[in-house]
Amino acid sequence: MDPVRNPYVPGAGASPPELAGREDLFTQAGIVLQRALGGKSARSFIATGLRGVGKTVVLARVEQLAKSAGYLTCFVEAEEEKPLGATLAPHLRRMMLELDRLGAVTEQVKRGLRVLKSFASGLRIQSVLGFSIELDVEPEHGTADTGDLTTDLPDMISALGHAAQSRHTGVALFIDEIQNLSESDLSALIMAMHRVMREGLPIVLVGAGLPHLVSLIGQAKSYAERLFEFPVLGPLSPAECEDALRTPAERESVDFTPEAVEEVVRITRGYPYFLQEWAYHAWNVAHGDRILKGDIQVATEVSLTSLDGGFFRMRYARLTPREREYCQAMAELGEGSHRSGEIAERMGSRTQAVAPVRATLIRKGMVYSPAHGETAFTVPLFENYLHRIRTMGTDPTDTDD
């Protein structure tokens, strides 16, 4: 079929044509946004899930809801090597200036700009970002200027919230890959949102991260469970998969046969990223206005080649030889989660000896612990990839001819 008309989008973070299975979450997000604007207590939410379940897409859709409700928004991705203060500072400046332009100046907005100047100065933003936070105001001495984010960020976010409140609007902060934050930065963020809730300010945090993020947040601040909801994004049900596959096709007068749908669901296990990948390639190889089971089987070869060369290979390349050995041992044990002792035994070692390897893999976001002593991949179908490269007997990261 015509590839130009292909409605499916397998790119990372790309919004699919039919966002199936997340309606309840969007309804709840809308309620949170409206309550915060109305000055009512509203728990922010941080979605968790494996790679490929659509966490980034969910954040982007909720950001659209926030903008439609009149919120000022910022969308950032947490990076391991970049402090949270430096990540947020340019966005805080933009939003404060937007608040300043919304109407006659208010004391809360003027103070917010002064606090921002102090915040940037305290964290030495210029040395981190390579440019200064230029504001034609005097700093608010003694507020948000200690250089300690756990002290300064709550002051900064509070000032921003009061400025937004004076303009009868709200602020929504969207932070993806939150598990990449250091423990001190994560603590600062939690403390800032605690301040927001205590003062009844119209600021909402919407975040996303890998499954182990919940335990990281709990370790950072024990009261965090009372500040946030933690919806879990998992694979789609067969009915939701069918909706995600068929609805976009029907808009183009194309249909999936029941057998084709069943085959896609079986292979992809309902993970949204893989659904898009298989549907995209199935469309391109199909003839006529029906996508058949045979088209899915052809698309499987193309999809696996694409994933092996990019999605899976990129993650495998980040691993040390010892980490690859640990992952191979997991793959040999089969699908699902496995006891640490079983993995160590498969490696011919002791649990204590390979514990540092497991800890590093968790930090890298390759594995997580779904239960005490259990380990599972954060990347769906990764064990199948490891089986394939083991069978081939080649190193997929070797670029030599």
pLDDT of amino acid 164: 95
Amino acid code (one letter) for 179: Q
pLDDT of amino acid 105: 73
- The full DSSP string for 119-179 is HHHHTTHHHHHSS----SS---TTSS-SS-HHHHHHHHHHHHHHHHHHTT--EEEEEE-GG
List the chain residues with pLDDT less than 50: 126-131, 401
For 60-71, give the secondary structure using H, E and C: HHHHHHHHHCCC
pLDDT of amino acid 60: 93
pLDDT of amino acid 324: 96
pLDDT of amino acid 101: 87
The SS3 call for residue 180 is: helix
pLDDT of amino acid 20: 80
pLDDT of amino acid 395: 72
For residues 85 and 125, the answer to whether their CB atoms sit within 8 Å is yes
pTM of full prediction above 0.85:
yes
DSSP bridge pairs for 374: 339
**Structure-block tokens of residue 108:** 């809360």
pLDDT of amino acid 205: 96
For residues 208 and 167, the answer to whether their CB atoms sit within 8 Å is no
